[in-house]
Structure 1
């Protein structure tokens, strides 16, 4: 994707999601003397992503000057053959006209996304890739009460397992054991085989017998 950042407009808030950039992306930050600082974490995320990174500083101040820079750069890149999704990251509604032009008046229909931050742009771009699916999953709204109930139950089981495996060679593997036993779809046989796989024949049998004796299997099945 191509990201054109109206940094004077969105500031650091517009960089939300820059940790999801990758080597296939191109990002250009348009900024002015009035807003020339960016959080270090954002800059480091951008450079670590491997994306093509450019900056463009406003030469002379003027009303909507950076907007014209962005519109001009978009036209330049499309004229050079860019055919992917382009995102203008800005809260300025004036860019709607730019999107209308390329989507309705151009000989070749272009996808122009208008968003207030990089993360929103990625989701709106709706590319068929892992980062889009991951962001959609993370942004899914969950019932607070149900989520907390599951969290409380998982915490209770963790405390129980810590007590079961206290002063054993497995006391530092509680997270592995908990992941192994939790879930309604995990039968005793599946847990037994998983234990052998994780801890070896002797260790796996010891772990399985300990959680079985502690009644952890039945309790975890309902977590």
Structure 2
């Protein structure tokens, strides 16, 4: 079964939980801003249930789109390391769409959704 990497823009989308991602095929990276200091207890608990398949990535520095650039970097790195995987960017930010279209044109299965509740179709 292919790995599904879920990259969450937590500055843009504050999820209540990661319901539906508690299976071995999912790996979750949650990106938080440098000055972001609060995460809901429910969300933190759902991250813990994933064990080593989930991690927080707190960016360093501030600036316009700083967190987005971190997500783009990790997305490219993961796509290189695991070219058979699926990739999901959870964000309302349409600025990711040109990158996603470029990756798709290179046969990388990636999509952006505003929530994890969206059912992913390939």
Q: CA deviation at 1:16?
A: 4.7
Whether 2:25 is the aligned partner of 1:24: answer yes
Task: State the alpha-carbon separation in 2 of the partners of residues 88 and 66 from structure 1.
Answer: 13
Structure 1 length-normalised TM:
0.49
Whether 2:6 is the aligned partner of 1:3: answer yes
Whether 2:79 is the aligned partner of 1:75: answer no
**Structure number with bigger Rg:** 1
**Which residue number corresponds to residue 61 of structure 1?**
62
More helix by share: 1
**Which residue number corresponds to residue 40 of structure 1?**
41
More strand by share: 2
Cα deviation digits, residues 18-60 of structure 1 (max 9, x gap): 1211222110011113433211112212221446111111211
Q: How does 1:105-124 map to 2 (within 5 A)?
A: 106=106, 109-120=107-118, 123-124=119-120
The verdict on how the C-alpha distance between 1:38 and 1:82 changes in structure 2, with shifts beyond 3 A counting, is: farther
Gaps of 5+ in 2: none
Task: State the alpha-carbon separation in 2 of the partners of residues 96 and 5 from structure 1.
Answer: 15
Number of residue pairs matched by the alignment:
118
Q: Which of the pair has the greater relative contact order for Cα pairs under 8 Å at 6+ separation?
A: 2
Structure 2 length-normalised TM:
0.86
Cα deviation digits, residues 168-198 of structure 1 (max 9, x gap): xxxxxxxxxxxxxxxxxxxxxxxxxxxxxxx
Q: CA deviation at 1:17?
A: 5.5
